[in-house]
Amino acid sequence: MVRLFAATLAALTLASAARAEDAAKVPTPADTYQELFHQVQTRRIFPDGKTFVDAVPRRAPAKIMADYRAHARFSDAELKRFVRANFIVPQAGAAPKPTAKRTALKAHIAGLWPHLTRPPVKPVAGGSALAMAKPFVVPGGRFREIYYWDSYFTMLGLKADGRDDLVDNMIDDFGGLIETYGHIPNGARTYYLSRSQPPFFYAMVGLSAATDPKTIKARVDLMRREHAFWMDGSDDLKPGEAHRRVVAMADGGVLNRYWDDRATPRDESYREDLETAAKSQRSPAEVFRDLRAGAESGWDFSSRWMADGRSLATIQTTSIVPVDLNSLMFGLEKAISAGCAQLADADCVREFEGRATARAEAIDFYLWDAAKGAYLDYQWTTGQRLDHLSAATFYPLFVGATDEHKAHVVAQKAWDELLAPGGLRTTTVRTGQQWDTPNGWAPLQWVAVSGLRRYGEDALAAEIAKRWLATVTREYKASGKMLEKYDVEEAKAGGGGEYPTQDGFGWTNGVTRALMEMK
């Protein structure tokens, strides 16, 4: 029976990988609306490039396009009127208006969950929203749909506030995406289907209180399907080759990279990507692919991905084997092994324990830099470790893929270079990109604090948590808002990036609430 189960699941994972490639062929707004889309985005009819791609057509797309093509030329004003007449144009999700008298921060966060919770979604033909079977929580602001890695950190706060119902709903919604598309997309939109995000699904499952064997089996199956997505093509690679999200290293070991199955401008950042490609000396398709891969990383954008460490035009994401992704893949492999142990599937346990052990050894060999005292990304195309210190160095601690000595060295490095007055710096470089200093981000605070506590580095963990909570509290008292990111140098609202700092905000609420409970 165990062997039959393993063989059946192997077939399912192959089918899952095939579905993931097919998902990249699902029409996006750029595919559906073609020259109309190009004109709306390049002429900046709406200030935010995400507005039009989230719009819902009022009638059949073919009829809209026929009417558009019947006109020789539109002025900007006429084009905007045409779009509003033919589409329901979304507005940013409104957070509760701040009042002069602030409620306690814990109560404020609890009050935000209903404002960020959305009902099940039934897609509209020609729209970009994907089906969602159960209620879910969105980040807020311009982010109107569920997002992959954001949701784990949001769920930490839901768990702390006793909202296990929403935690399980969101796990089931993500499971539905894996069932349908073979992976969890960046977000629940057609234009996100060609990429994923840092694989935190296994960690979400770990937050669930479910103990039913049937549920455990279903979720282990889903984790194995996600693993197949990330490892697609790994069996056929020779050293120095790459395929989609896998790279065969010089010694034959396999690690992962970020990727996107399309090599076109992102629908939601179409104009910006065209402008970046125009500044580069490389093939536009290569630049687009690297920009998209940077979006899959969640760090969009950061000096981590730039060849010169400064300019977005030099982005090289697909040439990099990243610390965070490979640490999370180790975590996924350990979680699958543990789940298979509960199911008494010895073959599966043996396979994934072996995969996790091999990955931990590769992380140690390629990504650990003893001289620098940190885990660093690796440029597989040149065989060089990149000297870009970032908060990603904490990921091996977060997943338990390191030892106590290295954890101590990382902690010392963080005391010296990554700890800022208002929390943990993202990097040590100022580029104007949002995933560089002076910005700090809630998920990275949590990864660091959790990882440090795992290895007994409680003093630094407590200091990061204290400084971060002080920053969030200070801004909340000043503006009444929970923000997407913060300037941890000056303990104020963060900045930089492709869009204004968003209010809401799912993962800030979740991490802040969870840190409040940490003893």
Q: Write out the catalytic residue numbers.
A: 300, 484
Query: What is each CA distance from 413 to 407, 436, 447, in whole angstroms?
Result: 10, 17, 16
Q: Is the dihedral of CA 250, 251, 256, 261 positive or negative?
A: positive
H-helix or E-strand containing 248? strand 246-248
- Report how far residue 114's alpha carbon sits from residue 509's, in angstroms, rounded to the nearest whole number: 13
Helices (H), 43-140: 50-53, 61-69, 76-86, 105-116
135 with 120: CB under 8 angstroms? yes
Alpha-carbon distance 222 to 168, whole Å? 14
Residue 507, SS3 per DSSP: helix
Distance CA 210, CA 518 (A): 23
DSSP β-bridge partners for residue 277: none
The β-bridge relationship of strands 320-321 and 374-375 is unpaired
d(CA 497, CA 223): 32
Could you list the beta-strand ranges (E) of 276-395: 320-321, 368-369, 374-375, 378-379, 384-385
Per DSSP, the residues of 182-203 read SS--SBSBGGGTT---S--HHH
Spatial distance between the Cα atoms of 331 and 203, rounded to a whole number of angstroms: 8
Cα of 454 vs its chain's centroid, Å: 23
Using DSSP bridges, classify how beta strands 486-487 and 492-493 pair: parallel, antiparallel or unpaired. Answer: antiparallel
Neighbours of 161 (CB within 10 A): 18
Alpha-carbon gap, residue 206 to 144, rounded angstroms: 26
Residue 305 CB neighbours (<10 A):
29
Q: How far apart are CA 139 and CA 346, in angstroms?
A: 40
Alpha-carbon distance 11 to 9, whole Å?
5
Decide: helix, strand or coil at residue 378: strand
Give strand ranges (E) for 378-450: 378-379, 384-385, 419-420, 423-424, 439-440
R_g (Cα) of the chain, nearest Å = 22
Phi, psi of 171 (to 5 degrees): -60, -45
Q: Which helix (H) or strand (E) holds 492?
A: strand 492-493
Token reading at 474: 């200070």
